[in-house]
Amino acid sequence: MKPILGFADLWWARFGVRPPTLPKMTGTPLVGGMLRRASCRSFKPEPVSEALINLVLGVAQSAPSKSDLQQYSIIVVEDPAKRKEIARWSSIPDWAGKAPHLFIFCADIRRQQAISHFRDKKHRNNTLDHYTNAVTDTSLALGFAISAAEATGLGCCPLSVVRNHIEEATALFELPDGVFPLAGLALGMRDERDPRTLRLPPNVVVHRDRYEDTGLKAEIDRYDDRRHARKPIPRNKQIEPDRHGTSDRYTWSENAARRLSVTEREEFLSFLKGHGFNLD
């Protein structure tokens, strides 16, 4: 029987640093599970019950929403032909194509435009601000779905890589103007548990009254040390080795800097502007 861990134990496992003042109690199932969560990239082949899928989707729709506008849609990909097509996309990881279930979370301003028309009102908010609202609504729904899946014992992993194939996804799912795929979510029964990833220390992320990053480099160096000691990034996962070489000590910050040195999805803005988003 697994021991019941308190919040302090879970905090140490998540961040690798001394925990701050935390409640003197064992982790509640939901909060403790969220602290110990890890993305899943290895699934059992059997499908999840429809009842459990419905529950996860219901929790996704329970997420907070800006002004109760609920500007997102979720595509449940069930058609085997469509799943096969997605698996053929060159940058989709092999494990994602084999996951028993795949959801596509879409930012959606089209529905509110239609509702404005139904009520004989002019929709005046096809703007950058409402694009941001729709993306935020979609992200919150995705996060709630992940929390629900993990709380019920499922494994899942979000997939931003669907935006690498935004034109193909738009055609495959017949997405009209005003709707675009923000991220996928692979979901199923865990085949094995991936190791927990150490997160940045809270004193780097959480600021009190003002933004303060004076000691950032020293904190990042220490964070690199902790992550490398727990789970070194293997040589075959190093980014852009032809440009930057390889290293026996390849740190999180080096990986992040290399990733950000290559422009991603340069066509994204032009796609949005040609797909019903004015971004004024």
**What is the domain range of residue 143?**
50-194
Q: Is residue 230 part of a domain?
A: no
Q: Is residue 144 part of a domain?
A: yes
Q: Is residue 214 part of a domain?
A: no
Q: Check pLDDT > 70 for residue 201.
A: yes
In 10 A of CB 155, how many CB atoms? 24
Q: Check pLDDT > 80 for residue 216.
A: yes
Question: Is the CB of residue 164 less than 8 Å from the CB of residue 86?
Answer: no
Q: pLDDT digit string (tens) for 11-26?
A: 999 999 999 988 876 6
Q: Is residue 175 part of a domain?
A: yes
Q: pLDDT digit string (tens) for 33-67?
A: 888 888 999 999 999 999 999 999 999 999 999 99
Instruction: Please give the pLDDT value at position 194.
Output: 73
Instruction: Please give the pLDDT value at position 278.
Output: 96
Instruction: Please give the pLDDT value at position 193.
Output: 73
d(CA 68, CA 134): 11
Instruction: Please give the pLDDT value at position 23.
Output: 84
The domain that holds 166 is classified in CATH as 3.40.109.10
Q: How confident is the model at residue 1 (pLDDT cuts 50, 70, 90)?
A: very low
Instruction: Please give the pLDDT value at position 199.
Output: 96
Percent of the chain with pLDDT over 90: 82
Q: Is residue 204 part of a domain?
A: no
Q: How confident is the model at residue 6 (pLDDT cuts 50, 70, 90)?
A: confident
d(CA 217, CA 84): 45
Across the range 1-7, mean pLDDT stands at 63
pTM over 0.85: yes
Q: Is residue 223 part of a domain?
A: no
Q: pLDDT digit string (tens) for 64-117?
A: 999 999 999 999 999 999 999 999 998 899 999 889 999 999 999 999 999 999
Q: What is the mean pLDDT of the chain?
A: 93
Residue closest to 164 by CA, chosen among 91, 87, 260: 91
Instruction: Please give the pLDDT value at position 31.
Output: 87
Q: Is residue 117 part of a domain?
A: yes
Instruction: Please give the pLDDT value at position 3.
Output: 53
Q: Is residue 118 part of a domain?
A: yes
* Higher-scoring residue by pLDDT: 196, 209: 209
Q: Check pLDDT > 90 for residue 250.
A: yes
Which amino acid appears at position 171 of this protein? A
Q: How many domains does the chain have?
A: 1
Strand duo 101-108 + 154-159: pairing: unpaired
